[in-house]
Amino acid sequence: MQAVQIPFRKLAFAGLATVLFTAFRFAGLPQTSASAAETEMPEPVLLYDFEEQDASDKTIKDKAGQNNGTLKGRTQVQYSEERDSNVLYFWGGNSYLEFPQGFFDGRDTMTISMDICSLMDNENFFTVAIGKDSNQYLFLRTRSGECRYAITKDSWGTEQDVAAVGRYKEQWTNVTLVLTPKEMRLYINGELIDVQDGLTTKLSDFGEDVIGYLGKSFYSGDAYFKGYIDNVAVYEEALTAMEISAMNGTVPMPFQSITIGEDIASVVTWKADKEARKLTVYVSKSNTKNKETAELVFRTQDNVFLKGNGIVSIPYGSSTQTEFVIKNGEEEESQIWEVSAVLCGNPVVPGQYADPDIDVFDGKYYLYMTTDGFSGWSGTKFHVFSSDNLVDWTDEGVILDVASKDVPWSVGSAWAPSIEEKNGKYYFYFCAKDTSGASSIGVAVADSPIGPYTAMPEPLMTVEMCKKQNVSMGQAIDPSIFTDEDGTSYLLFGNGAAAVVKLNEDMVSVDLSTLQNYRGAREFREAITVTKRNGIYHFTWSCDDTGSENYHVNYGTSDSLYGPIQYQYTVLEKRPEQDILGTGHHCILQIPDEDEYYIVYHRFFTPLTYFSDGKGFHRETCIDVLRFDEATGLMLPATPTLEGVLARKLGKEPQQPEITPEWDGTEPGEDETVPQPTKPASAEADSQKKSGFAGRLFGIFAVVAIAAAALLAWRKRLHEKK
């Protein structure tokens, strides 16, 4: 259920929990017990709501005490029509708010809550900073796709943190930070997102005269925050999940997190429907030992316990009824949830791998990837995995180390491989850096798909070679090999600009007279590939940055391998509702002698909270079905999934699930064509939805009416106090 949006949250401090309980009960929506809902909300020890504040006044009044804030630079109070209240605007230059020095001294246990509308992207900055200097600090950062809260007493290398992945730019979000001597918790819009246990740093470790800022970092090279902040409140206790949910007009779930034993990487993600009390847990097949039954371990809220032994056992593909008991003083309330478990084929191999290339040799699949998980993509080794059925993979070991004497010209950074077989030899194309730091494409040769490989003593393709041919190129990286029907092989590659060149018969040298740039690859960043079907060349390439959740694959066609490319549309992109982000750097597999295709790509490592920063260095490889439209002959947008594909043994009939590409309702541009969206199965379903909506609409009006009445009463009381 979406919480009703009230212009501002000031009524949270005057018994909002009671109001919400009555409203939810009247609307027929999920509720907590009466005794819990009627609990008096704690009062903040600091409250900046920016009301009755002159825009020119540099002193921000504390409505809860005498801890007034001070504005620096051009930061000022503005009226927001959207919120019907005053807010604090940060313009991004040398401007910020400073808390009274010493206010945070010794606050080892506290809660900070505020509403934030960030206008920042992926810069380095602090939205909130509390501490002494760049060695001792607590901070909150609200980037466009990430919210991160951390603490350290020995600079960035020892930060302990909690984080959320989501969309936090240009929209109002309530962020609540809870801190105790041993734990930190992050809540977004009243929902608990992440917990960090076993803290080794406390605010009291920073000593006296602790400094606090809104909008300024302790690192001199960082940017200043740009955006809006409202309703800054500090409590001297750790608010409970129920209190934080009540402040945001939401109903808390009885559990905080779910794991398989101690291995949190086993759970890809979980999705909860609080209204229906249904929970679906998606478990990685590659990262769990038990492939038959999910042994789910719940971390419940502080006032909740799980009936039974604390572990819920569910055979994959089935569901079970699970009872949570919520304790409120002497009273108890029982909640029954239907819990189901899904075993996911994506990611296809355990661990961190990216930039995949797949092929079929001698009746077996082989998968070559960048070994990921290194800052700056500084891994040096390539592995190869093999499979008989496309879903169960065996690590065949390291086939090349670009930091060893095996590659004479290279010093490291093993990126983006590609493989091709010709004349009984296997040619492995790869990226690495030379002694000057430039990235180039090399090639190694073997008699077997799994090696051993012997690298050529010099790079196959460099930026300098491109410049001499007047070909634009950022870095000579991301090789993809295409062999046409006449047996001629070509190298497609590029970063910033795409190019193609013919390989000589020896497959370890190129014909530079054939080197040229592609035209028409809209938004091209890297990793261009081509698939030929029914005489048409189907080009696909990656866009945006691999560190961005918006990394995606675009698609175009041509009658010629050398283009120009006619852009069509995006064929692979993120699915945030499934925690699938950063989908790109792909390859396309055609089953030999069949009109059957798969797309292999990487995405951000899951669960998304496993790594709080540098998600472009932490990626995993996935496989999904790819189809063509029989009427137009065009490639259909692929649907990235958690479940992945069914087993596909070569020489057998395919048995893949039917997947209908999703459509977001937006219209294509003038030069774009997209498959027609799938229509609803029946008008009757729409009618039922409308009928149910009418009933809930009445309940929502009741919530709004009661909340508005409480708001007016609160304002009146506040005025009387003044």
Report the C-alpha gap between 267 and 314 in whole angstroms.
Answer: 14
Whether the CB-CB separation of 113 and 174 falls below 8 Å is answered with: yes
Neighbouring C-alpha atoms within 13 Å toward the C-beta of 14 = 17
H-helix or E-strand spanning residue 397:
strand 394-401
441, 481 in Cβ contact below 8 A?
no
End-to-end CA distance of the chain: 37
In angstroms, the Cα distances linking 263 to 288, 349, 371, 588 are 8, 16, 21, 32
Rounded Cα distance, 504 and 587, in Å = 23
Q: In what order do the strands lie in the sheet with 353-361?
A: 353-361, 364-371, 381-387, 394-401
β-pairing, 278-284 vs 331-344, is: parallel
- What is the C-alpha separation between 78 and 89, in angstroms, rounded? 7
∠ Cα 422 425 428 (to 5°): 90
Q: CA separation (Å) from 699 to 31, 61, 272, 521? A: 13, 37, 22, 51
| CA distances (Å), origin 477, targets 183, 463, 467, 494, 583 | 44, 9, 15, 6, 19
How far apart, in whole angstroms, are the C-alpha atoms of residue 439 and residue 494? 11
Assess contact for 508 and 456: CB atoms under 8 A. yes
Question: For residues 551 and 573, what is the distance between their CA atoms, to the nearest angstrom?
Answer: 7
Q: Is 355 a catalytic residue?
A: yes
Between the alpha carbon of residue 446 and those of residues 359, 398, 418, the distances in Å are 15, 13, 14
Q: Which among 17, 230, 189 has a CA at the least distance from the CA of 707? A: 17
Structure tokens at 346: 């994506």
**Which segments within 215-330 are labelled E, that is strand?**
226-235, 255-260, 267-273, 278-284, 293-300, 304-306, 311-315, 319-328
526 is catalytic: yes
Pairing of strands 146-152, 160-165: antiparallel
CA atoms of 354 and 347, how far apart (whole Å): 11
Residues contacting 317, CB < 8 A, separation 6+: 341, 342, 343
Dihedral angle sign, alpha carbons of residues 435, 439, 440, 441: positive
Location of structure tokens 């013919």: 502
Nearest 10 degrees: CA dihedral of 388, 394, 395, 397? -70
Catalytic residue of the set 146, 230, 355, 420: 355
Catalytic residue among 146, 333, 526, 620: 526
State the DSSP code for 24.
H
Q: Residue 607, preceding bond cis, omega within 30 degrees?
A: yes
Active site residues: 355, 526
